[in-house]
Structure 1
């Protein structure tokens, strides 16, 4: 039964309803997923930082995507792992920590969209204006685009959470494995009409701008490829764009699954699972997809692997 407490600063997370015999397998699976996210994304950051050949706009923007995945997973998965091993009555979180977690979760999702939109613009310039690419995508432009990606997300998510924390709370149970904005304002017994309107407008604007920019960008790239007889250009476009498009579709489908399932409260456990997968799947697949596709990254890893083999052979 849900507890009622006016403006309590200690909240309870409902978490997953896991049978005792499944507790440790689920814990192990989530722990392995978190380790993979950290190793793959930190590894990608180190490779790009070390190899000067990768100091290009596309890879610098990719660094931002990896940082976003690290932030999103780190602020959610460790707390979730600890909660799995606790009984439901002990899955507690302070209100302030819950607000920060909700902000981070929303910020992570928004930043992923804005970064992928900017990466699409980068591919558009590289393919449609190859001779002007260096003049357009300067270091100054990359910094501006990066700051705008994080700044826009921070501004709009800040308003979203600001509307939520102004509300008085009369409940303490978070119906989710981690705190998010919707779970927070559902704790209030006040009128949340403004929150719903802004939340819907914010989501609609983000999705329309995100999907719209992708459709427009890829439509122009397709026209250029179809009218061009340059096989090298078309091959390059196919490789880079397919990688970016797969990463975007993974994030978009993961998000849509959550939105659709929220319309069916009877599937509450599936909603919780989809919310976790939204963090895990892109976080693991993004560095793998870009690492496999990138010739420069594959070359760097091959040289490291070859040098280790040569070193071990020399020691023998």
Structure 2
């Protein structure tokens, strides 16, 4: 008869399935990715803070993305790096640390969507109501949108994890490289119908709001551009909207692959790998996409170095 331990405070992480020969290449790849994520995203935040020319609603709202990327990956990737070098039997994590990790992982994914929603609203106002842009997108509005993006995510994820924490546990194995809500409530032998219903509703509402806001705003922007003979407006719309849309598509496709693979248990190893890449790929590409597309961000370091050179 199988031994069952109820409400154990020590859990075992399954981790990534890596062979003896791929341990160090995998460790090097994730470590390099983490360094790139931290350097690039911290660099973007520092540029926006120091350069007064970047103190515009678009860049202030965008700053939420690198901050989210730094927080989300700093909780997950260092732990993943240490687990890769350990044998599976030693990949242990406390229940409370696991809950914090799961909360952070879901906050990361949810906040990606809510931040891109408010950025879509900013692009809509800038293109469709340029004369009223400064009055609508005031400092107060930027603060309200930022609080909304983080507040909605906090409440939705808080309820998600709250429903899971209430359950008694009879298992100890986390079948994932890191803790998340699904693997946590699967530790329970109780009825998890409410968790499944809320989790599905959570996903549908989030994706519907995210996709709906992007489709609606970009449809209206497209109509404005097609009916306008203003080449300057069309060029501005194409430049700023293509950047936002590229970031959104990278995030959306990465997350969708993970959700789809959850439905196919036979591809669990691919799902684990994709769940890690969901953190790494968008977080690495976001600052690069904005840095390449944005003339202001590209010129900001040059102006800083030139000013230092003149002073010296």
TM-score by length of 1: 0.96
Say if 1:174 and 1:107 are closer, same or farther in 2 by CA, change over 3 A.
Answer: same
Q: Give the superposition deviation at 1:308.
A: 7.5
Which residue pairs with 2:61 in the alignment? 61
Which residue pairs with 2:180 in the alignment? 180
Gapped runs of 5+ residues in structure 2? Answer: none
2:201 counterpart of 1:208 = no
Which residue pairs with 1:33 in the alignment? 33
Q: Give the superposition deviation at 1:20.
A: 1.4
Which residue pairs with 2:24 in the alignment? 24
Q: Give the superposition deviation at 1:260.
A: 0.9
Q: Distance in 2 between matches of 1:4 and 1:154?
A: 33
- 1:123-155 superposed Cα distances (whole Å, 9 cap, x missing partner): 000000101000000000000010010000000
Which residue pairs with 1:48 in the alignment? 48
Q: Give the superposition deviation at 1:302.
A: 2.6
Q: Distance in 1 between matches of 2:309 and 2:112?
A: 38
Which residue pairs with 1:139 in the alignment? 139
User: Any idea what SS the aligned residue of 1:12 has?
Assistant: strand
**Would you say how many aligned residue pairs link Structure 1 and Structure 2?**
311
Q: Distance in 2 between matches of 1:245 and 1:225?
A: 16
Q: Give the superposition deviation at 1:304.
A: 4.1
Which residue pairs with 1:71 in the alignment? 71
TM-score by length of 2: 0.97
Q: Give the superposition deviation at 1:250.
A: 0.4
Q: Give the superposition deviation at 1:311.
A: 9.5
User: Any idea what SS the aligned residue of 2:21 has?
Assistant: helix
Which residue pairs with 1:194 in the alignment? 194
Say if 1:3 and 1:269 are closer, same or farther in 2 by CA, change over 3 A.
Answer: farther
Native 8 Å contact 1:3 1:172 kept in 2: no
User: Any idea what SS the aligned residue of 1:206 has?
Assistant: helix
Q: Give 1:115-130 correspondences, 5 Å limit.
A: 115-130=115-130
Q: Give the superposition deviation at 1:303.
A: 2.8
User: Any idea what SS the aligned residue of 2:11 has?
Assistant: strand
2:298 counterpart of 1:290 = no
2:260 counterpart of 1:260 = yes
Q: Distance in 2 between matches of 1:255 and 1:229?
A: 38
Q: Distance in 2 between matches of 1:175 and 1:249?
A: 28
